[in-house]
Amino acid sequence: MGSKKMTGDEALAHGALTAGVQVVTGYPGSPSSGTMDALIESSRSHDLYIEWSSNERVALEMAIGASIAGQRALVCTKSVGMNVMLDPLMALNLTPLRAGLVILLGDDPGGYGSQNDQDTRPLAAMTELPMLEPRTPAEATAMMRLGFTLSEKHQMPIIIRETRGFSVQVETVTLSSAASGITPPKEVNEPLRFVPVPSNVVRKHRDLHRRLSKIGTWLRNSEFNQVRTGGKDGIIAAGFVTQKLLDVIGKEAPFSLLKLGVLYPLPEQTVIDFLAGCDSVLILEETGPFVELGVKAMAQTHHVETVIFGKQSGHVPREGELFRWQIQSAVSQLFPYFTPVSNYLKKDEAEEYPQKKSYCGDCRYDEIIDLLNEAACQNGQDLALVGDPGCLVTVAHRLHAKYAIGSAIAVADGMAKAGMQQKPVALVGDSGFFHSTLPALCNAVHNKSNILIVVLNNGSALTSGRQPHAGTAHDALGGPAQALSIARICRACGIAYVRSLALADPHGKSVAVTRNALTQKSLSVLIMDIPPQTG
C-alpha cells in the first residue's frame, strides 16, 4: 500500500478507516475536527455514515445506537465537549457494548482555541474507561485500530486522547487497506443489557470493574508503554510529551525512560518496576499532575522510596502547554551533569505554538455590539452583554460574561431575575442555538423572562471551520438537508417578539428595530443575519 506523510489528525482518521469504522459523529471543535474533516474527505470512497451532530451528547448517543446495532463507531470531541457527553457516558460504561466504540478526545493545553485550560484526563478515571495517548502519527494509526479491537473484546468504549500540538505533527505513516464493515445483528433482544436501572446498577458496576481489570492486564504489556534503561535517574513521559522530551535529550541520554501510551488504567507493575530501578524520577505530562498523582499513589502502596519530581514539586508548570524549553529547564535543574542536544529558549516559545487556520478574518461582531450600544444609548439604557463561546471570542473584551455554549440565556436571565438595573442581552451563535440553547430558551419563556436574545446567524459553525448545523441546508458531505428555522422555533416556543435584521440593512432601520427590541417588557429575540465571510 505504500506510505504517506500525515498529520496526527489524518493518521487517526486513517486508523479508524482501516479498523472498519462505519459511523462517525462529532461536533466542531479543535483539536479533533481535523480527524472529522479527513474522514469526510475519505467517506466518498468508503462506505460509512458521518455527521456533524447538534452537540457532543447527541454525537455520543448516535454512536451508542450504532454500536448496539453492531457497527463500529467513532465520536470526535474536544475537551469541553467531553463535559457535555458525560451524562450518557456515565451509563454507557455500565452497559457492555456490541461493536467497538472509540472516543477521540482533543485536549487543548494552553487554550489556543478554547475558553479554558482543561485537562480532561481525570474524566477517564471518573468514568472508569481506558484512555490511551499516542506519541507519533504512526503510533496514532496503530492505536486507533487497536482501540476498536479492545473495545469490542472488552465491551467498553476506549478513549484516545490527542493534544493540539500532536494534531499538527507530521510523520510518514505506512498505509493499510480499509477493513470491511461489521455485519449488523438481525435483532436487538437482550433484556437489560443496555438498560441500567436501580435493581442492576451495582451488579453492572461490579461487571465494569471485572472488564476493566481484564483490559488492564492486557494494557500492562502494551506496545504503547516502552521502557529504556539508562541510569539511576529516570523520566516518565506521557503521550505526545515524550516526543518533546526526545527532542531535548536525544535518543542516547543517560537516563532511564518510561514512555506511557496508556494513561488509564496506569500499568502498575510496569511503573513500580521502573521506579525500583531509579533513585529519582521526573514526570512530564500535559496539563495537570494526573500521571504524577497515580505514580505517587502506587509508590506509596508498594513502599517504593524513589524521589519523584514533577508538577507538585514545582519543577514543571501545572498550566498551559509544556514547552521544550520548560522540559529542558527541568531536566537541567534536576540532572546538572547532562547537556541537552538542543538549546531551547523561552524567547522562542512562540515557535512551538500549534498553527491553526483562522476563520475570524473580517469578523463583524464589533458592528453588532456597536449597534446594540447605540440603540441602548438612544433609549437611555445600559447593557449587560452575556455571550456564548465561539465567534464571540473576537469581541470577548466587550462582554460582561461568557461561560459554556448554551449558557448565555440563563446567565442573562439570572441577572434580570436578580434585579440588575442594566438590560441583560444574551448573544448566541446559530450553531450554539441548536447545540444547547433550547432548554434555556424554554426555561426563559416558562419563567417570564424579559431579556433580549440576539442570535448571530452565520449560517455555519464559523469559528471551527464553517461546519454545517441543523439550520444549514446541507449536511457534512455537502448533500441537501432540511434547514430548521431559528425564527420559527422561537415562535413555536411561545416568544411573540421575533425580528430579523441583516447587516446589509440601512443603518437607520437597524437602529430602530434594535431600539424597539430592547424596550420589550417580555422575552424578545433579534436574529442578526451575517453574510458569509470571504476567503
Model confidence pLDDT, tens digit, residues 458-468: 866 666 667 87
Examine residue 352 and state whether it is found in any structural domain, yes or no: no
Examine residue 534 and state whether it is found in any structural domain, yes or no: no
Residues 230 and 214 in one domain: no
Sign of CA dihedral 459, 460, 466, 468: negative
Residues 51 and 176 in one domain: yes
Total domain count, the chain: 3
State pTM to two decimals. Answer: 0.90
295, 312, 347 - which closes a domain: 347
Examine residue 145 and state whether it is found in any structural domain, yes or no: yes
Residues 211 and 232 in one domain: no
Examine residue 356 and state whether it is found in any structural domain, yes or no: no
What CATH number is attached to the domain comprising 172? 3.40.50.970
Integer Cα distance of 217 and 239 in angstroms: 20
SS3 for 53?
coil
Residues 230 and 91 in one domain: no
Examine residue 355 and state whether it is found in any structural domain, yes or no: no
Q: What is the mean pLDDT of residues 80-90?
A: 93
Residues 230 and 212 in one domain: no
Range of lowest pLDDT (132-136, 138-142, 176-180): 176-180
Parent domain of 438: 365-529
Residues 41 and 176 in one domain: yes
Residues 320 and 385 in one domain: no
Residues 140 and 213 in one domain: yes
Q: Do residues 156 and 208 lie in contact, with contact meaning Cβ atoms separated by under 8 Å?
A: yes
Look up residue 470 and give its amino acid: A
Residues 514 and 379 in one domain: yes
Residues 93 and 180 in one domain: yes
Q: What is the mean pLDDT of residues 405-410?
A: 90
Examine residue 290 and state whether it is found in any structural domain, yes or no: yes
Q: What pLDDT score does 535 carry?
A: 44
pLDDT-derived band at 330, boundaries 50, 70, 90:
very high
Give long-range contacts, CB 8 A cutoff, 24+ apart: 214-220. Answer: 214/154, 215/130, 215/150, 215/153, 215/154, 215/156, 216/130, 216/265, 216/267, 218/150, 219/130, 219/262, 219/265, 219/267, 220/267, 220/268, 220/269, 220/270
Examine residue 130 and state whether it is found in any structural domain, yes or no: yes
Residues 131 and 14 in one domain: yes
pLDDT-derived band at 472, boundaries 50, 70, 90:
confident
Residues 277 and 333 in one domain: yes
Examine residue 516 and state whether it is found in any structural domain, yes or no: yes
Dump pLDDT digits (tens) for 36-47: 999 998 877 788
Q: What is the mean pLDDT of residues 84-91?
A: 94
Dump pLDDT digits (tens) for 331-341: 999 999 888 88
347, 382, 409 - which closes a domain: 347
Integer Cα distance of 402 and 396 in angstroms: 8
Dump pLDDT digits (tens) for 251-286: 888 899 999 999 999 999 999 999 999 999 999 999
Integer Cα distance of 147 and 138 in angstroms: 14
